[in-house]
Amino acid sequence: MDSFQQTIFKLKRYWDERGAIIQEPYDVEVGAGTMCPETFLRVLGPKPYRVAYVQPSRRPADGRYGENPNRLYKHMQLQVILKPSPDDILDQYLGSLEAIGLDLSKHDIKFEEDNWESPTLGAWGIGWQVMLDGQEITQFTYFQQCGGIDLDLVPAEITYGLERLVAFLQGVESVYDIEWTRGVKYADVRLADELQFSVYNFEMANVDRLWRLLGEYEAECKELLAKYEDYPDKQRFPVLATYDQVLKCSHLFNLLDARGAISVTERVGVIKRVRDLAVGTAKLWADQQQGVA
C-alpha cells in the first residue's frame, strides 16, 4: 500500500510523463488550487500550458477542530491544468487512477454532472464530479470563463481531493489515520494545525482588524490596477503582485465569513468587491500576454 506522499509522487510522475510542468504550491493562502496564478492567470490568453501541483487549500469555515474525520480547514488538492484540453483527456485521467494502483475493472466509476462556478473569481466551467464506488474523488472542469473573460483555449482542470482519494486507497475511515509516510500518520503531521486554526478562525481572529486588512489589501490592489494604463513598459508591470492582493482579500473574506462577521446581505457586496479586483487583474494579465505574443 502506498503512503500519502507516494501516491502524490506517482500522480506527479504520471503528469510529468504527459508533458506537464510540475510546480510547487503557491505561497499565498488560497481556498482552492484554481485560485493559484498557475491556473487563474495561465488559463487566460492564447498560449498552451500544462501544469500540475499540490496546493494546500484553506477554507476557514470548514474547520472542525480536528474532530470530524472527513472535514478539514486545510486540505491538499492535486491540481492539473491541460490547456488546451486533449481529446482523450478522460482516458488520460482514468489512466492516472490506474497509475496509483486502482484496478478500474474491479471498481465503479461514474461521471456525474457538477458544473463549477466561483462568483469571487468571475469564473465558471462545465464538468463532473468523478465518483469512485460512491465516493467523490475528483472534480473535473472544462473552464469556459475566467476573470469574466471567455477563454480562447478551453483547458481541462483536474482536481484530485488527495485526502479523500488516499483515505479510499488505504481503506481508512478518518483522514487522520492516513499513513503519510511509513510510521507517520496524517494526524501526526496536521492535527495541530486543524485544532489551532479552528480556534483562531472561529474564536480569536480580530474581526475589526480583519476588516481593516481587507480594506488595505483592496486599496493596494486598486491602486495598482489604476496605474497600469499609463505605465510605459507594460511587460514590467507587476500584474502578478496585483493578483496576490486579490488572493489576500479573498482569504480575509473567508476568515470573516468563518467568524460569522458577514451578514447575508453584506455577503453579496463583499463578493462583488473581490470579484471586481479579480476581473480587473485578469484583464491586465490578458492584455500583458498579448504584448508577449
Which residues contact other proteins (rule: CB under 8 A)? Answer: 68-71, 84-85, 87, 90-91, 94, 104-113, 115, 126, 128, 132-135, 142, 144, 150-154, 168, 171, 173, 260, 263-265
Dihedrals φ, ψ of 19, to 5°? 80, 15
Q: Are 130 and 138 in contact (CB under 8 A)?
A: yes
Name the DSSP class of 256.
Answer: H
CB nearer to other proteins: pick between 105 and 235: 105
The amino acid present at 22, given as its one-letter code, is I
Q: What is the dihedral angle through the alpha carbons of 194, 196, 202, 203, rounded to the nearest 10 degrees?
A: 160
CB nearer to other proteins: pick between 85 and 254: 85
In angstroms, give the least distance from the CB of 266 to other proteins.
10
CB nearer to other proteins: pick between 108 and 203: 108
In angstroms, give the least distance from the CB of 12 to other proteins.
24
Residue 254 corresponds to which cell in the numbers above? 473567508
In angstroms, give the least distance from the CB of 107 to other proteins.
6
Distance between CA atoms of residues 164 and 178, nearest Å: 10
CB nearer to other proteins: pick between 111 and 211: 111
CB nearer to other proteins: pick between 151 and 279: 151
Q: Are 241 and 281 in contact (CB under 8 A)?
A: no
In angstroms, give the least distance from the CB of 85 to other proteins.
7
The amino acid present at 45, given as its one-letter code, is G
Q: Are 65 and 195 in contact (CB under 8 A)?
A: yes
Distance between CA atoms of residues 255 and 217, nearest Å: 14
In angstroms, give the least distance from the CB of 143 to other proteins.
10
CB nearer to other proteins: pick between 108 and 233: 108
In angstroms, give the least distance from the CB of 134 to other proteins.
4
Query: SS3 of 127, please?
Result: strand
User: CA of 135: how far to CAs of 2, 33, 54, 110, in Å?
Assistant: 19, 20, 21, 10
CB atoms within 10 A of CB 154: 15
CB nearer to other proteins: pick between 83 and 275: 83
In angstroms, give the least distance from the CB of 152 to other proteins.
5
